[in-house]
Amino acid sequence: MSFSYTFTHAICRRPGAAATKGLRAVDTGTPDTDLFLEHHADYIAALQSTGAHVTELAADEAFPDGCFVEDAALCLPELAVIMRPGAPTRLGEAALMKPVLEGLYANVAEITRGHIEGGDILVTEREILIGSSDRTDAQGVENLREIVTPHGYSIRMVQTPPGVLHFKTDCSLLDARTILATKRLAASGCFEGYDVIHVADGEEACANTIRFNNLVIMPAGFPKTRAILEAAGYDIREVGNSEAAKLDGGMSCLSLRFSPPAA
Ligand code: CIR
């Protein structure tokens, strides 16, 4: 069983009316909250279709970006770690996630120094890759290293490309040895030792997909990359992402994916 892409559980949070005020690097329009909710329901249905149990948390209007739950925590088989988001408006999302994870994990640790957001963390079968970014700094990474090293994990700090929100904006794990990545990120050499599949030119916005059990869940509307992934043997499910994309969000951001330790 591969702990890096095989999961029994996921946690999502519904986007609220405040999503219209979510952070974005470039304003490409205000998200339509009804359509966002429709896409969100499709996303949850895709996760559930693999047999996973999905907890859907209620929207919290105090946090316009609260539906991007991935940034608030890191869930590993042995423990959960509450992150410390680098975006000031998102800091409180971590505290909101803590009691939820305490209900599922006996061991919930917390980042207390620097900043780190889950979107910058790619957990593979052999290591944890973390991209430094505007949201994730060396102090936060060192703090996470101290927490997870005793559990046998090794952390490798790499660089999120300039102008890219998160490391995983540009890459995804496809299986134990394969990563989907943009050419600009793969060119940095950070995936040496892995097999890399490049997203098609012009389709960089679909690099943020997720492998979730038997499925690769990708944003709708990237036919060339879909064809590449299908030819490589992956079972693809597309989910509409037009509204989350207006807030720089994608498939990984919308869930925490994990298998809690047996009680
Ligand atoms: C933000 O800027 O923080 C949100 N609008 C988008 C967060 C996306 N999360 C992710 O890539 N993990």
CA distance 29 to 246: 7
Q: Which residues, 6+ apart, have CB-to-CB distance to 54 below 8 Å?
A: 9, 10, 11, 12, 44, 47, 48, 255
Bridge-based pairing of strands 53-57 and 9-13 is parallel
Tokens of 9: 């559980």
Write phi, then psi, for 245 (nearest 5 degrees). -65, -30
Cβ-contact 242, 39 below 8 angstroms: yes
How does pLDDT run along the chain (263 residues), one tens digit per residue?
799 999 999 999 999 999 999 999 999 999 999 999 999 999 999 999 999 999 999 999 999 999 999 999 999 999 999 999 999 999 999 999 999 999 999 999 999 999 999 999 999 999 999 999 999 999 999 999 999 999 999 999 999 999 999 999 999 999 999 999 999 999 999 999 999 999 999 999 999 999 999 999 999 999 999 999 999 999 999 999 999 999 999 999 999 999 999 74
Q: Tell if the pTM clears 0.95, that is, is over it.
A: yes
3-state secondary structure of 248: coil
Catalytic residue among 12, 75, 190, 253: 253
127 CA → ligand 1 middle, Å: 23
- The full DSSP string for 177-241 is TEEEE-HHHHTTTTTTTSEEEEPPTT-GGG---EEETTEEEEESS-HHHHHHHHHTT-EEEEE--
Q: Which residues, 6+ apart, have CB-to-CB distance to 140 below 8 Å?
A: 83, 84, 86, 111, 113, 114, 115, 116
Q: CA triplet 71, 67, 45: central angle to 5 degrees?
A: 110
Note the pLDDT of residue 111.
98
Q: CA triplet 106, 152, 104: central angle to 5 degrees?
A: 20
Pocket lined around ligand 1, Cβ cut-off 6 Å: 22-24, 65, 68, 70-71, 87, 90, 118-119, 165-166, 169, 247-249, 252-253
Tokens of 73: 């925590």
Neighbours of 192 (CB within 10 A): 8
Taking the CA of residue 208 as reference, the ligand 1 atom at the shortest distance is 11
Note the pLDDT of residue 193.
96
Catalytic residue among 39, 40, 166, 198: 166
| Total number of residues shown for the chain | 263
Nearest-CA residue for ligand 1 atom 3 is 23
Neighbours of 35 (CB within 10 A): 12
106 CA → ligand 1 middle, Å: 28
253 CA → ligand 1 middle, Å: 6
Q: Reply yes or no on whether 253 is catalytic.
A: yes
247 CA → ligand 1 middle, Å: 7
Best probe residue, ligand 1, of 63, 247, 254 (max atoms within 8 Å of C-beta): 247
Nearest-CA residue for ligand 1 atom 7 is 249
Note the pLDDT of residue 1.
73
Note the pLDDT of residue 24.
96
252 CA → ligand 1 middle, Å: 10
Taking the CA of residue 253 as reference, the ligand 1 atom at the shortest distance is 12
CA distance 78 to 260: 8
Taking the CA of residue 87 as reference, the ligand 1 atom at the shortest distance is 3
